[in-house]
Amino acid sequence: EKLLSDGTATAAQGGGPPGSARPATGAEVSTGAGGQQLGPPPTRPEPCPIHLDPDTRYFILKSNTGENLVKSVQESVWATPRNNERNLDNALRSAPHVILIFSINRSGAFQGYARMIGATGTSPKRNVFNGFGRPFE
């Protein structure tokens, strides 16, 4: 067998597995549990250049309530306690990309992510979170 660049294997001679009459066409076909043909195997999307950049910074931001996360999505802003602002602003100045990963406290899951595009306190939307933190985009 010969290993192809996509991780699949093909027989070196005759095209198919030993003893099969199936010719090699270069396109593999997936089969379901009952042997039915499902079509070509799924392909993976190309990786995003932002996530391939080793200098991209990632932060997990937790919200106390789901309502604040909904407001954040609706208004395209986020706010964080002042003690987090310095780390985020430093990352925004020094890294090509800053990715914020959002979670609701005690949810055991991540609810989404966004790219930070402005320093803390720079959003013109001031009262989204009733005075909590300084909004940023």
- What are 41-98's pLDDT values in tens digits? 778 888 888 888 899 999 998 888 888 888 888 888 888 888 888 999 999 999 999 9
Report the distance separating Cα 98 and Cα 120, nearest Å.
13
Higher pLDDT, 41 or 2: 41
User: Rounded to whole angstroms, how far apart are CA atoms 114 and 97?
Assistant: 10
Q: Report pTM.
A: 0.62
